[in-house]
Structure 1
Amino acid sequence: MDESVLAAMARWPNVPAVFGWLGLDRRGNWRLRGEPVDHPGLRDFLGRNYASDESGRFFVQNGPQRVFVALAYTPWVLRLEDEALIRHDRRPFAEPRQALVDDLGSLLLLGDAGVALVDDRDLPAMLDRLCDDHGRRLPDARVEAALTGDTRACRILVDGRSLPLEAITHEAVAVRFGFEPDPRPPGDGGH
């Protein structure tokens, strides 16, 4: 986090948290009250000060105030840039260890920061990385089957690693990976 943010937290430790203002969409775009955040400096600030608490609620630390983030799906979104996966906060995706496809055909990867959704615009390029247990590219029919949950003998090449592809339902993702997609204030039917 920014030094100025840490200093403000020390000066004003009891500032109430904000809920329902900030969101992260399925393409890794920040949204403030539903509107896209277009200012590059603000996007960078949000990315640098993005973290999670012990309950799996993601937030941006804005000075002394936590602004909780409503997640359209996962807490991280990945984009392909020059064949490398980059998180929405502009940091490299590191330590890939698990790959999943959900019942909606979305590709998820688990890495050092947690579970991440691959931006749908990069899905075709990522599907080209699907292979069988022997490293051979999958025929189109097997790729289609994998996207509908038949992940038998399917692997994906990510950052030099061959990861088995596993099926999951989109409803199970938050529980399995321990994050709260829609944080609420205490007493608001919250989580």
Structure 2
Amino acid sequence: MEDWVYKAMSRWPDVPALYGWLSLDRRGHWRIRGEIISRPQIIDTINRNYAVDARGCWYFQNGPQRGYMQLEYAPFVLYVHKDHLRTHTGQTLSDLLMAFLDEEGSLLLLSEYGAGLLLDQDLPWALTRLYAGEAPADEAQLLAALQRPSGAETGLELHYAQQRVPVQRLDRDAMPETLSFVREPRAS
């Protein structure tokens, strides 16, 4: 976070948190009360001051006030940039820990930053990097992976930046508990 945020937090330590106003959609857009935030300066400020608390609730620290984010899918949205994955906040992924296919074929990746949903427009990029053993995964292997029960290994691996990351089938509704994040934060 930025220095001005820390100064504001120390100056006004008891500002109540904000719930239900801010959200992150599955396309990587920040929203306020359902409307897309389009102003670049605001987007950049949110990106730089986006963090997670001990409960797994993601928030934007706006000076002394935390604005908790409702997550349509995951804390991050990922996209391909020059053959590398980046978060919607502009960080390049270097360490993938795990990959998950949900029941609809969406791909969620766990990295050093947390859980991130790959944009659907970049699924073809991922498909060329899915392997079953030493061979690229074929359509039948992908279909079999999608039909596995939630929590099951698929036998597939995602190859990324010299890494071979196992792919697990995991239902969308099981992701927050499994990956320790909260989609709809509430005041405690």
Please state which band the TM-score falls in when normalised by the shorter chain: over 0.9
Percent identity between the aligned chains? 38
What does residue 139 of structure 1 align with? 138
Listed one character per residue, the Cα deviations across residues 92-129 of structure 1 (whole Å, up to 9, x for unaligned) are 12310111101121101111121111111111211111
| Aligned mates of 2:178, 2:146 — CA distance in 1 | 20
What does residue 172 of structure 2 align with? 170
5+ residue gaps, structure 1 = 187-191
What does residue 14 of structure 1 align with? 14
* Aligned-residue offset at 1:142: 2.0
- 5 Å matches for 1:144-163? 144-149=143-148, 152-163=154-165
What is the root-mean-square deviation of aligned Cα atoms in Å? 1.4
Q: Secondary structure at 1:109's aligned position in 2?
A: strand
Q: Please state which structure has a larger fraction of its residues in strand.
A: 2
| Aligned mates of 2:155, 2:130 — CA distance in 1 | 10
Q: State the 4+ residue runs in structure 1 displaced beyond 3 angstroms.
A: 147-152
Listed one character per residue, the Cα deviations across residues 26-58 of structure 1 (whole Å, up to 9, x for unaligned) are 111101110111111111110100001111111
| Aligned mates of 1:124, 1:6 — CA distance in 2 | 42
Aligned residues: 185
Q: Secondary structure at 1:97's aligned position in 2?
A: strand
5+ residue gaps, structure 2 = none
TM-score, with length taken from structure 2: 0.93
- 5 Å matches for 1:69-88? 69-88=69-88
| Aligned mates of 1:147, 1:127 — CA distance in 2 | 13
Q: Secondary structure at 2:141's aligned position in 1?
A: helix
